[in-house]
Structure formats: C-alpha cells, structure tokens
Amino acid sequence: RDKRLPFSADQLQLIFNAPIYRGCVDDWHGYAVPGTAHPRRGRFWIPLIALFSGLRLNEACQLDVADIHDIDGVDCFYVTAGATEIGNDKRLKTASSERFVPVHPTLTEIGFMEFVSRRRESGDRKLFAELQRSSTGYFSDPFSKWFRRFLERSGAARAKTCFHSFRHCYRDALREARIDHEVALALGGWSSGNGSDGGEVAAQYGRGYRAETLLTAIKMVSYPQLDLSHLRSAQ
C-alpha cells in the first residue's frame, strides 16, 4: 500500500512560490537563491506536468520532443517506452502506463506549448535535454534526489510527502471533479485491477477514449487554493 500523502495546499503554494518559479539566480546551483532569471527547463516544468497532467516522474523526465503532438486537434503527451534510433532510454512502470494525456489548459496558459515549439526548433530529441540518466538507466533518479533538496530549501518538506505526492494530488483532483472511474484510470495510467471482475479483459476491447473526451475530463482538474498567476504573467 502506498503510504505517501498528497501535498497540502500550503505545501503546493510553497513549492510554486520558490525562487525557481518567482525568479532565481539560475536553475542549476542557484535555483533556491532569489534573482532575476526565469529559466524554464525541466526543473520548472516537470512538477507542473505531474500536478496537472498526472505523469509519473520518470515518464515526464524521459519525454522526447516528439512525444508532445496533436491528436485530433488536441495537444497531448504520448507516454510510451521503446527503442529509438539512438538507444532504448524510455521505460514505463506497467503496461497500462502507456497512454496519451491531453496537455492541461493551465500548462498551455503558462507557456508549455511555446516551450515545446522552441525545443523542436533546437533540433534536440529530448524535451529536457539537460537531464541525465543515472547508472540505473532512469532519468528520474537524479531528479528525485534534487527534488528532495528542493522541498527542504523551499520549506515544503513534510513527512510522507515526496515527488510522487503530485500524483496523489492529481488523483484527488479527479475525484473532486467526479470524473468517471475508467476515464480517470486512462488519464493516470492506472491498472483497472486484477481482472477478477473482468475489468482487465474489458479494457482490451476497443481503441480507448478519444482525445477530446480526455481533454474534457482533464479540464476539470483544478486546485482552487493554488495561485499560479505569477507564472502566467512572467511569460
């Protein structure tokens, strides 16, 4: 059983009011020092992606630029594993993890799709090209270590919370919005169960939900007590 907890509203505000979101020296060693720079790379975007589109840490860290694309007029993350022309550097937790997830409108408002466009123009394959893989083969390992330090320095560290707490926040937001259970599972890449009630078998039929259906659902994911107006105005 996962004993981790979602972040509280106060923790979320501390996280997204940290210097890396308000203005810092840089997003490397100076991420926790107030400054005039507003870098928008992995350390800026990945927590927001986890909170609003529900990607696991490694799912977000390993994204290719090509993994963000238009599906029937809807900008989506395509969460997948597999080999590419330069190696097999993408992994998924389970088979049900493979999915596409619409880009939440809040991410678009903050400037995520403009960031993606710039990355396409750069010619780099990885969306967050500055992130490195660990010896275990995961991009998430170094990021997870950094994020623990980030929580401490932002004052948001609490017992039983860590990066995965964003997923718990996301799941609670889906519940609060009364999103259909199967749609919620599709949006989060959660398994439908052990198959005793036929859920796993039923999930193998059909093509799944349309992008527009998933977008309608994900638009309802919200955090009313979280103020991100400074991120919209800083574009």
Specify the residue for token string 């403009």: 114
- What local confidence, expressed as pLDDT, does residue 94 receive? 52
Per residue in 13-47, pLDDT (tens digit) is: 999 999 999 999 999 999 999 999 999 999 999 99
Beta strand segments in the chain, E: 68-71, 74-79, 99-102
Burial class (CB in 10 A: 0-12, 13-18, 19+), 54: buried
Per residue in 198-225, pLDDT (tens digit) is: 445 445 544 689 999 999 999 999 999 9
The predicted model gives 5-16 an average pLDDT of 97
Whole-structure pTM value? 0.89
Burial 32-53 (b: 16+ CB within 10 A, else e): eeeeeeebbbbbbbbbbbbbbb
Beta bridge partners of 75: 70
Nearest to 216 by CA among 41, 73, 19: 73
Q: How far apart are CA 63 and CA 79, in angstroms?
A: 8
* Phi, psi torsion values for 70, nearest 5 degrees: -80, 125
Name the percent of the chain in helix, strand, coil, to the closest 5: 45, 10, 45
Nearest to 185 by CA among 170, 163, 198: 170
The predicted model gives 117-132 an average pLDDT of 94
Which residue type does 4 have?
Answer: R
Residue 118, pLDDT above cutoff 80: yes
